[in-house]
Chains A and B, each alone.
Chain A
């Protein structure tokens, strides 16, 4: 048995006087409905779960919410939450010598066994460094001792954790439900045995079991030209490739059941149910669609039970039916209709992040807005020209889009928002200018169908960043200048259109943040020095435009990479050859490298690939490698009728 570890004292009494002096103190106090505080001494494994951004962004994160419930359901595990602290409170904490704390019991993060950090974007890396430092832990994993938690990264960015390899002890690839319990069990046995071999032995166990990727057990060799020569294990028993985790049967894991209800304001205030995980539409730019395969649906009855229980447990009024492409659920019409029936006459509203362009989505949208609110619909054609959409495998034609918006305008919708990307592989000015023509046609169609001039179309354009484990992982990223130049031309084209220009809104950002994201996405271990230099120069909250500084990143990168023979351009705007060893090649998302390469070649050749849910398998490699299979309905079941308890 383990020795009982005494609970660390709560930091709250020391924090409290500081809270009166900072902005939005409510975000630091914890105690939300459905939050859990456990008796420290009665648990054996303790997790501090972190989303590396402010509470208002991090608390609604679905991954953290799921793990918080699953871990806390075990009586021997304690899971608490911690988020990034704004500079006003951080400065006071450093003055008073108070470390990074958890919200649930205001315990010091350093007292936990694991600091688990979920990254949905690489722009959270500087916040990771700041939290580690504020917790009083050594910044570099190599310098940590038995007194420090092990730092585990998860989330989509963990599929290439090489840029943060120096700062984390391990990375978990893929679904965390089962993996987090496996990690907990490994820690429990190691502690019960009296922590043999110390921290190093625990990391060996995590690595050899295959549950986590432990960067320190792999050596990276470089070629004279700066490319990677090889990545090889340096410990016996450590696998040469680390595989992702795939949760099969989402109906067995109906989480979150009772998510926390923040008192503070957050970015999403709804109860979200993941209706399926994974996506095989095959959009070539989409990392999420590549690394979360195969598609695994949650059944209609589980969804119905989760919605009812979740609303009751939280008091929320909005339900989000989440996934990468929710309208693709095999029973989405039944789910939306039956949920709309169930909550008819209450003030519960349903929402669907519906971004595929087809008329079917209009029926769904109409169903979801029975109460009459028909403000705007959002679609994501992603590419402006037909050619561009073939390159990215977004299989939708201009006529599809026009038919879809016509149906929307005929149903009473007045606003359409269209998402695009700029800087896609093979893109020319003409491909981007086609966005203006498309938007003009949308306005024209809307005016015709609705008989009113009160029609708006907003085009929202993001800069494309090539991501690991996608067919575009070899592609050259467009320079910030290219993006800015093309978007400038597009803006001029829209302004010059006197018939439609004023009905078209254009939203975009400059190309510079995308270059930093590109550096961090496809970076290797040498990029760690850049991240550290930026953090040391005061860089934090890089996802916030008021904190992000491109100039700081550029200056720190120039200095930190000096002498390596590589620079920011080398990581971003350089196209890679097929035989180059990529920093993440030893991390296995299940995708066959040859298939990815062929898909990249098909892209350039403008060849489209169909969805394997409805057409034969095209051998992306995931199912055979991972021992998984596509799980879709229809189940043919119905929601059980539930008598509405509310009126209003």
Chain B
């Protein structure tokens, strides 16, 4: 007997783009952890999701550029496809209520033209570095910005990788002992802990990235040193 093909799933009629935050303890959620929690929240909230067809249908969600495990964020983005037209504000509220506190849905708007990922070309981060005085930090930032290239290393799935952390940094400032970083997205993606590591390379005395606490404040299209709202 031939194996029966599963029924085709209903096609999407609406796409919503969502901004969410990863706050407090939930900054320790990995991207996989978030994705699992989000898919369940969609079901608890009764969002009429579009599913892929085939033997194991999964909800149509496009994730873009997730913050690393341990980093907080006010600006994470994803896109979902629905089989029914819904009020975006109602979807936002229902999803927010269905997620654990700390994973907070902030905006939901109908998708504009172009891929969401293409609109996310830069990030602004706030990085609290503990165990170092402000003067040392300022010196390190000055030395870092003066350099053309600062090599750092990070363990990735493919093994230990060495790359430049200076090139993608558009701006870096110290305010009240806190770093304000504007970075352009590239490959590999330079993360806050890479920048902190780079500061230690140019100015010994700045501790390794482990003692830094980072929060992504904004993410968007990088133009003339500014980040444009990716949902606009």
Taking Cβ atoms with an 8 Å cutoff, the residues of A that contact B are 12, 16-17, 19-21, 24-26, 28-33, 261, 263-265, 269, 311-317, 347, 371-374, 410-412, 450, 645-648
The interface bits of chain B over 33-60 (1 if a CB of A lies within 8 angstroms of the residue's CB, else 0) are 1101101111111101111000111010
Asked if B1 is at the interface of the complex by the 8 Å CB criterion, the answer is yes
Most buried by B among A264, A450, A648: A648
Across the A-B interface, give the 7 residue pairs with the lowest CB-CB distance, nearest first. A315-B40, A315-B44, A25-B28, A315-B43, A29-B25, A372-B6, A263-B37
Q: List 12 A-B contacts (CB under 8 A).
A: A17-B211, A24-B30, A31-B100, A263-B26, A263-B36, A263-B100, A265-B33, A315-B98, A371-B6, A410-B1, A647-B48, A647-B83
Is the Cβ of A26 less than 8 Å from the Cβ of B28? yes
Q: Which of B32, B55, B84 contacts A265 (CB 8 A)?
A: B32
Give the distance to chain A from B211, nearest Cβ to Cβ, in Å: 7
Is the Cβ of B69 less than 8 Å from the Cβ of A648? no
Give the distance to chain A from B226, nearest Cβ to Cβ, in Å: 31
Give the distance to chain A from B144, nearest Cβ to Cβ, in Å: 22
Q: Which of A12, A29, A264, A317 contacts B43 (CB 8 A)?
A: A317
Name the B residues within 8 Å of A313 (CB-CB): 44
Cα–Cα, bound, A26→B31 (Å):
11
Is the Cβ of A261 less than 8 Å from the Cβ of B40? yes
Q: A312-B44, A315-B40, A648-B51 are in contact. Are A373 and B30 (CB under 8 A)?
A: no
Give the distance to chain A from B215, nearest Cβ to Cβ, in Å: 13
Is the Cβ of A26 less than 8 Å from the Cβ of B30? yes
Q: With CB as the reference atom, state the residue of chain B lying closest to A373.
A: B55
| Contacts A315-B40, A315-B42, A317-B43 supplied; 9 other A-B pairs, CB < 8 Å | A12-B25, A26-B69, A31-B100, A33-B99, A264-B33, A269-B36, A372-B4, A372-B5, A373-B6
Is the Cβ of B100 less than 8 Å from the Cβ of A32? yes
Give the distance to chain A from B1, nearest Cβ to Cβ, in Å: 5
Asked if B3 is at the interface of the complex by the 8 Å CB criterion, the answer is yes
Give the distance to chain B from A101, nearest Cβ to Cβ, in Å: 13
Q: Which of A265, A311, A312 contacts B36 (CB 8 A)?
A: A265
Q: Which of B36, B43, B101 contacts A646 (CB 8 A)?
A: B43
Is the Cβ of B56 less than 8 Å from the Cβ of A29? no
Instruction: For chain B, residues 181 to 232, give those with C-beta under 8 angstroms from any C-beta of chain A.
Output: 210-211, 213
Cα–Cα, bound, A604→B59 (Å):
55
Is the Cβ of A372 less than 8 Å from the Cβ of B69? no
Is the Cβ of B3 less than 8 Å from the Cβ of A25? no
Is the Cβ of B102 less than 8 Å from the Cβ of A31? yes
Give the distance to chain A from B116, nearest Cβ to Cβ, in Å: 22
Is the Cβ of A21 less than 8 Å from the Cβ of B44? no
Cα–Cα, bound, A50→B48 (Å):
38
Asked if B62 is at the interface of the complex by the 8 Å CB criterion, the answer is no
Asked if B90 is at the interface of the complex by the 8 Å CB criterion, the answer is no
Taking Cβ atoms with an 8 Å cutoff, the residues of B that contact A are 1, 3-6, 9-10, 25-26, 28-30, 32-34, 36-37, 39-46, 48-51, 55-57, 59, 69-70, 83-84, 98-103, 210-211, 213
Name the B residues within 8 Å of A29 (CB-CB): 25-26, 28
Name the A residues within 8 Å of B49 (CB-CB): 648
Is the Cβ of B100 less than 8 Å from the Cβ of A315? no
Is the Cβ of B210 less than 8 Å from the Cβ of A20? yes
Cα–Cα, bound, A401→B4 (Å):
25
Cα–Cα, bound, A373→B54 (Å):
10
Is the Cβ of B3 less than 8 Å from the Cβ of A347? no
Is the Cβ of A25 less than 8 Å from the Cβ of B69? yes
Cα–Cα, bound, A411→B32 (Å):
36
Name the B residues within 8 Å of A410 (CB-CB): 1
Is the Cβ of A263 less than 8 Å from the Cβ of B33? yes
Cα–Cα, bound, A21→B10 (Å):
44
Cα–Cα, bound, A645→B94 (Å):
14
Cα–Cα, bound, A371→B7 (Å):
8
Cα–Cα, bound, A29→B29 (Å):
9
Give the distance to chain A from B104, nearest Cβ to Cβ, in Å: 13
Give the distance to chain B from A420, nearest Cβ to Cβ, in Å: 28
Q: Which of B6, B10, B33 contacts A648 (CB 8 A)?
A: B10
Is the Cβ of B3 less than 8 Å from the Cβ of A372? yes
Cα–Cα, bound, A12→B36 (Å):
24
Is the Cβ of A31 less than 8 Å from the Cβ of B26? yes
Name the B residues within 8 Å of A646 (CB-CB): 43, 46, 48
Name the B residues within 8 Å of A261 (CB-CB): 37, 40
Is the Cβ of B44 less than 8 Å from the Cβ of A372? no
Name the B residues within 8 Å of A317 (CB-CB): 43
Name the A residues within 8 Å of B56 (CB-CB): 373
Is the Cβ of B100 less than 8 Å from the Cβ of A411? no
Q: Which of A20, A316, A645 contacts B70 (CB 8 A)?
A: A20
Give the distance to chain A from B136, nearest Cβ to Cβ, in Å: 20
Q: With CB as the reference atom, state the residue of chain A lying closest to B4.
A: A372
Most buried by B among A16, A410, A450: A16
Give the distance to chain A from B151, nearest Cβ to Cβ, in Å: 23
Q: With CB as the reference atom, state the residue of chain A lying closest to B212.
A: A20
Q: Which of B44, B45, B46 contacts A314 (CB 8 A)?
A: B44
Is the Cβ of B46 less than 8 Å from the Cβ of A645? yes
Q: With CB as the reference atom, state the residue of chain A lying closest to B25.
A: A29
Cα–Cα, bound, A20→B196 (Å):
15
Give the distance to chain B from A405, nearest Cβ to Cβ, in Å: 15
Name the A residues within 8 Å of B34 (CB-CB): 263
Name the A residues within 8 Å of B101 (CB-CB): 31
Cα–Cα, bound, A316→B98 (Å):
12
Name the A residues within 8 Å of B211 (CB-CB): 17
Q: With CB as the reference atom, state the residue of chain A lying closest to B32.
A: A265
Give the distance to chain B from A468, nearest Cβ to Cβ, in Å: 39
Is the Cβ of B48 less than 8 Å from the Cβ of A648? yes
Name the B residues within 8 Å of A25 (CB-CB): 28, 69-70
Most buried by A among B6, B28, B48, B50: B28
Name the A residues within 8 Å of B1 (CB-CB): 410-412, 450
Cα–Cα, bound, A354→B109 (Å):
46
Give the distance to chain B from A316, nearest Cβ to Cβ, in Å: 7
Cα–Cα, bound, A636→B41 (Å):
36
Name the A residues within 8 Å of B10 (CB-CB): 647-648
Q: With CB as the reference atom, state the residue of chain A lying closest to B70.
A: A20
Name the A residues within 8 Å of B44 (CB-CB): 33, 312-315
Is the Cβ of A412 less than 8 Å from the Cβ of B43? no
Give the distance to chain A from B109, nearest Cβ to Cβ, in Å: 22
Cα–Cα, bound, A25→B101 (Å):
17
Cα–Cα, bound, A372→B34 (Å):
29
Is the Cβ of A314 less than 8 Å from the Cβ of B25? no
Is the Cβ of A21 less than 8 Å from the Cβ of B210? yes
Q: With CB as the reference atom, state the residue of chain A lying closest to B84.
A: A647
Give the distance to chain A from B213, nearest Cβ to Cβ, in Å: 8
Give the distance to chain B from A523, nearest Cβ to Cβ, in Å: 39
